[in-house]
């Protein structure tokens, strides 16, 4: 034997051992949440008798995302995991080439089917949630993808610019639209907003909305007012807005104090503004701070400004409270960090727009399954855990699969009694959830 530092040898074993025991919980959720049944009903049937059911592909990609696979080729690790395939009843795991071909075939039909599956998953998740009033955060985020067919984004990178809506209190993705990189961030936002509202089950409603400057549109202002939905929308510093800011008197500016009571270099004030085509006035809460690159010949550029438009009354929220609440949109950055770093959604497998849409859609489904499991099946103390922590503490647990006394046993290695109890209780909750 070649000399080594530690005195042990290596060899392959024929025993069924998996490094992904925790994935079995998500495979059970796939059935309990009716994803499997909906995929079977909604997706196009295989083109031949030798073709695979769509669930073979959707579930394989889903567990690849949950397991932490970064690229489509990483499906080979799942394919080699005979123990997981046995205990999870995964008779077929397709190859990377097969997945690529499947995503490029009948793509539009599959994209539409995934939207319906996601909608039904959202309704099933929310029906069992005690919270019925929600805050909707909408934002677009850039995916840089150096594909020949990708368009230039506003940052002059080749890539895509999907828009996503989240229910802020639950971290749940309630709607999405995968977009070309050169799509304007403000395009079709009212239609997208309406879709997010439609994705809620009966008895649930969105009472508050936060949007960045892409939402500064008269149709959105009017529609939200008609729905009696409170909103804060980042304002566009156009001629109308700057005229109102200019009208704020020096003695109306107050020092901005953050939530911890620390005074900052910023000041804030408020006034009222109008928009062509929108009846009445809306509040304009303005923050300003010294311009690090002032123009000596233009006094108007002595400050930088940030503007928030809102239909909250002064009695409902003070100007300071509106700023604090609107700044809560920063939590959107955590959603995107989780998607990009946790689920690697900053990677797209090919230069086919529709195929990338399918990949992205299943990635968002994996994200929602992660939220679903934390919210409904795991202890409350696990609610704030990221997917990377969940992988470390739940998914990537070694287990040995054996058949004994007519049962398949999954025997965990290196876990505490507490972990086994948490896992068994999660499975029981999942089974109860599957019942009509």
23-32 and 417-434 helices, crossing angle to 10° = 10
Q: What is residue 83's predicted lDDT score, i.e. its pLDDT?
A: 95
Mind listing the pLDDT tens digit for each residue in 146-165? 888 888 888 888 889 999 99
Q: What is the pTM of this model?
A: 0.92
Res 302: pLDDT: 82
Q: Say how many Å lie between the first and final Cα of the chain, rounded.
A: 60
- CA–CA gap between residue 20 and residue 156 (Å, rounded): 40
Average pLDDT over residues 326-348: 83
CB 90, CB 142: distance < 8 Å: no
Residue 355 CA neighbour count, 13 Å, CB half: 20
Question: pLDDT tens digit string along 256-267?
Answer: 998 888 888 999
β 399-404/17-18 pair status: antiparallel
Which sign does the torsion angle of CA 335, 341, 342, 344 carry? Answer: positive
**Tokens matching residue 124:** 């099933």
Closest of 146, 173, 114 to residue 343, by C-alpha: 173
Torsional class of 290: left (φ above 0), alpha (ψ -120 to 50), beta (otherwise): beta
pLDDT band at 382 (very low <50, low <70, confident <90, very high): very high
Going by pLDDT thresholds of 50, 70 and 90, the confidence category of residue 332 is low
Tell me if 99 sits within 8 A of 57, measured CB to CB: yes
The predicted-structure confidence for 13-26, as pLDDT tens digits, reads as follows 888 999 999 999 99
- The reported pLDDT for the residue numbered 102 is 95
pLDDT the model gives residue 104: 94
pLDDT tens digits for 275-307? Answer: 888 888 899 999 999 988 776 656 567 889 999
- What pLDDT score was predicted for residue 106? 92
How high is the pLDDT of residue 47? 73
In angstroms, rounded to a whole number, what is the distance separating the alpha carbons of residues 177 and 156?
A: 21
The string of pLDDT tens digits covering residues 185-243 is 888 999 999 999 999 999 999 999 999 999 999 999 999 999 999 999 999 998 889 99
Query: What's the mean per-residue pLDDT of the chain?
Result: 91
């Amino acid at each position: 034997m070649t000399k080594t530092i530690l005195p042990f040898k290596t060899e392959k074993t024929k025993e069924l051992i998996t490094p992904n025991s925790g994935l079995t919980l998500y495979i059970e959720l796939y059935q309990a949440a009716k994803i499997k049944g909906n995929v079977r009903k909604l997706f196009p049937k295989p083109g031949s008798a030798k073709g695979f059911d769509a669930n073979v592909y959707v579930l394989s990609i889903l567990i690849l995302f949950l397991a932490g696979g970064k690229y489509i080729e990483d499906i080979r690790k799942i394919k080699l995991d005979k123990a997981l395939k046995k205990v999870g009843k995964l008779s077929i795991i397709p190859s990377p080439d097969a997945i690529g071909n499947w995503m490029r075939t009948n793509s539009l039909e599959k994209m539409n089917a995934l939207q319906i599956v996601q909608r039904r998953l959202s309704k099933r998740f929310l029906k069992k949630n005690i919270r019925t009033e929600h805050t909707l955060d909408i934002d677009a985020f850039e995916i840089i993808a150096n594909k020949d067919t990708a368009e230039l984004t506003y940052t002059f990178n080749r890539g895509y610019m999907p828009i996503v809506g989240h229910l802020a209190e639950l971290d749940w993705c309630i709607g999405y639209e995968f977009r070309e990189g050169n799509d304007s961030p403000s395009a079709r936002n009212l239609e997208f907003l309406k879709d997010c509202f439609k994705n809620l089950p009966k008895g649930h409603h969105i009472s508050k909305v936060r949007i960045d400057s892409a939402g500064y549109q008269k149709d959105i202002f009017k529609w939200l007012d008609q729905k009696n939905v409170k909103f804060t929308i980042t304002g566009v510093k156009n001629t109308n807005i700057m005229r109102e800011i200019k009208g704020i008197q020096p003695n109306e500016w107050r020092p901005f104090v953050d939530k911890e009571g620390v005074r900052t270099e910023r000041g804030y004030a408020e006034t009222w503004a109008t928009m062509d085509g929108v009846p009445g006035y809306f509040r304009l809460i303005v923050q300003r701070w010294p311009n690090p690159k002032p123009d000596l010949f233009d006094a108007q550029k002595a400050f930088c400004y940030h503007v928030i438009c809102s239909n909250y009354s002064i009695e409902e929220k003070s100007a300071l409270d509106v700023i604090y609440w609107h700044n809560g949109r920063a939590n959107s950055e955590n959603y995107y960090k989780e998607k990009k770093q946790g689920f690697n959604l900053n990677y797209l497998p090919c230069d086919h727009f529709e195929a990338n849409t399918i990949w992205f859609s299943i990635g968002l489904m994996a994200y929602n399954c992660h939220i679903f499991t934390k919210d409904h099946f795991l202890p409350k103390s696990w609610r704030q855990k990221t997917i990377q922590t969940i992988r470390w503490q739940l998914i990537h647990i070694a287990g040995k699969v054996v058949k004994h006394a007519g049962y398949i046993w999954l025997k965990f290695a290196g876990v505490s009694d507490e972990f086994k109890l948490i896992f068994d209780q999660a499975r029981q909750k999942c089974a109860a959830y599957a019942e009509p």
